[in-house]
Amino acid sequence: AEISRAVPFYEGIEGLAQKGDQFQWGGERLGESGGFATPDGKARFTPLEPPQRKVPAGWYQLSTRRGKQFNSMEFGDSDPLTAARRDQVTMAAEDLQ
């Protein structure tokens, strides 16, 4: 119950009790009415420019998995396409030079 008081979007987490339980913030089907919670019912998009970060020579930048990036996550012991173990780091050959 604490998480939903701190972050109202997480209301529902406190009801998760066993493996397989789930919830959808905003209701069972987000946007089911076909509109958004804005005065005109339309979505608002704001383009953002990501910060420029310089990676020092000899270093590389690693992106970790956070949340559920469905198309890039391996849930088994190995990737069915490449046979890579789920804990392997895959890098481009030129980055290994």
**pLDDT (tens digit, 9 = 90+) per residue, 41-68?**
888 999 999 888 888 988 887 776 666 5
What length does the chain have? 97
Residue 97: the pLDDT is 75
Residue 39: the pLDDT is 92
Regarding pTM above 0.75, the answer is: no
* Cα separation, 31 vs 37, whole angstroms: 9
Measured in Å, how far apart are the chain's first and last C-alpha atoms? Answer: 50
Q: Which two tokens stand for residue 49?
A: 């420019």
Low pLDDT (below 50) residues in the chain = none
Place of tokens 């198309």: 71
* Cα separation, 68 vs 59, whole angstroms: 27
Residue 64: the pLDDT is 66
* Cα separation, 91 vs 89, whole angstroms: 6
